[in-house]
A and B are shown apart, each in its own frame.
Chain A
């Protein structure tokens, strides 16, 4: 099976990624590894994870995001998830999932702002 990679962009000290396809299982795990590797390579201080193109977020994806956040935090980087769709936000709340350890913000711009504010100098 061909390995599809999701672009991870660098802007200053931060990384930005915006998956446009459904992140199903093996792909999500590969994506997680890619992100963590990039954080190490670039010594990034933060990651903005834009999920505006994702229409369904289930417990699996929540767990992946949580694991990315934990590993990123250990490496000194904060994670901000942005672009939650109304139906995604509502479903997450209704299921009772907490995005602990993960900041959320409206969009890319706000996400970078949050990273700037939480950064420890």
Chain B
């Protein structure tokens, strides 16, 4: 196996996880370089073209580094998904990271972002009309 910068992106493509009716999860880990971002874009958009998807939860908590160019590409992917009828949200983005991205010129307006997967799931279920109840 090759070591080095592109290691993560050469190894395993980011999976599209069908989590619930109309909800997919995209767990992004490692280094988010342009090759990986391209793969994620195509995977997400191709999936939502094939399968009715109301919400795509893109979790980026596991990313070690991202540059503004890559962040912007991800944002554009989210806008493209919106045109195709899917709301893509981001989880794993802490408020201070969000502020840093915005100050770097990354356009986050109109995109739902959450610190935790929990919050993201809550949002998704609520939007789709699902209620989570604890049985006694």
Contact = CB atoms under 8 A, between A and B. Distances in A.
Contact of B85 (A92, A94, A104): A104
Nearest to B47: A86
B61 to A, nearest CB: 25
Interface residues of A, number: 15
Main secondary structure of the interface of B (DSSP, over half): helix
Interface string B72-113: 000011011111111000000000000000000000000000
A15 interface: no
B76 A93 contact: yes
Interface in A75-105: 82, 84-86, 89-90, 92-94, 99, 104-105
A107 B52 CA distance: 9
Interface residues of B, number: 17
Interface of B: 41-42, 45-46, 48-49, 52, 76-77, 79-86
Interface of A: 82, 84-86, 89-90, 92-94, 99, 104-107, 110
Ranked nearest first, the 10 interchain pairs of A and B with the lowest CB-CB distance are: A106-B85, A86-B45, A89-B80, A89-B83, A93-B79, A90-B80, A93-B76, A93-B80, A104-B83, A105-B85
Given A89-B80, A105-B85, A106-B85, 6 more contacts: A84-B84, A86-B84, A89-B81, A93-B79, A104-B84, A106-B84
